[in-house]
């Protein structure tokens, strides 16, 4: 009888130790995850009443830009990030593409894969999404709005457009003239 009680006590002790270790490991993992997320660069979604992101209408373009989003760094020095989806509305497989953005602040630049082959070809009808960066997208507080000077009137307009597309068969789509004209327009105005 004493032996059975001793075995039960040992079993209870083992269960208690295992439960304690499991809870400790779970808590440590939770704390480590919370810490690493707070170390990520913080961004906000650009408020459209201050920074308008628009997609250029390109009727003959084989790629359709969907769900565009402009993320602004919550601290000075962080480069803006564009998130979007590309839908191949052509009947050909896309091998390379380049997108550009132009702003009313006389800035612009290239996006996409810069003419390099895409990691995965974009098949006809397929949708490709920009990879998710390791960032923390936070809500726009009144204090952050003030710090980033996102109060009052419209500060800038950003136009996102497809500049070039190269298909697997060697043919291409080119909107260099439109892109250059848009860049010159924003420089003059």
Q: Please report, for the chain, the start and end positions of each structural domain, with discontinuous segments joined by +.
A: 1-39, 42-188
Segment holding 73, helix H or strand E:
strand 63-73
The pLDDT of residue 76: 77
Residue in 92, 87, 111, 88 with CA at minimum distance from that of residue 100: 111
* Residue carrying structure tokens 């989003």: 69
* Cβ neighbours around 50 below 10 Å, total: 18
* Distance between CA atoms of residues 107 and 170, nearest Å: 31
Average pLDDT over residues 73-94: 90
Helices (H), the chain: 2-38, 142-147, 176-188
Residue 36 has pLDDT above 50, yes or no: no
pLDDT digits (tens, 9 = 90+) for 119-155: 678 999 999 888 777 889 888 888 888 888 888 888 8
pTM to 2 decimal places: 0.72
Question: Helix, strand, coil: what percent of the chain each, to 5?
Answer: 30, 35, 35
Residue 183 CA: distances (Å) to CA of 20, 59, 105, 128 = 63, 19, 10, 26
The pLDDT of residue 119: 67
């Amino acid at each position: 009888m004493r032996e059975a009680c001793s075995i039960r006590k040992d079993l209870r002790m083992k269960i208690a130790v295992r439960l304690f270790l499991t809870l400790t490991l779970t808590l440590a993992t939770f704390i480590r995850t919370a810490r690493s997320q707070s170390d990520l660069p913080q961004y906000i979604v650009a408020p459209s009443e201050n920074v308008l992101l628009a997609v250029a209408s390109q009727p003959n373009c084989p790629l359709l830009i969907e769900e565009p989003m402009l993320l602004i760094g919550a601290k000075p020095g962080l480069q803006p990030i564009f998130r979007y989806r590309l839908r191949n509305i052509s009947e050909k497989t896309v091998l390379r593409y380049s997108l550009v953005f132009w702003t009313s602040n006389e800035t612009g630049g290239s996006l996409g894969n810069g003419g390099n082959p895409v990691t995965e070809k974009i098949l006809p009808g397929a949708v490709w999404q920009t990879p998710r960066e390791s960032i923390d997208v936070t809500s726009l507080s009144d204090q952050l709005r003030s710090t980033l000077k996102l109060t009052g009137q419209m500060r800038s307009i950003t136009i996102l457009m497809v500049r070039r597309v190269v298909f697997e068969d060697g043919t291409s789509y080119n909107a260099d003239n439109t892109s250059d004209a848009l860049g010159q327009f924003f420089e003059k105005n």
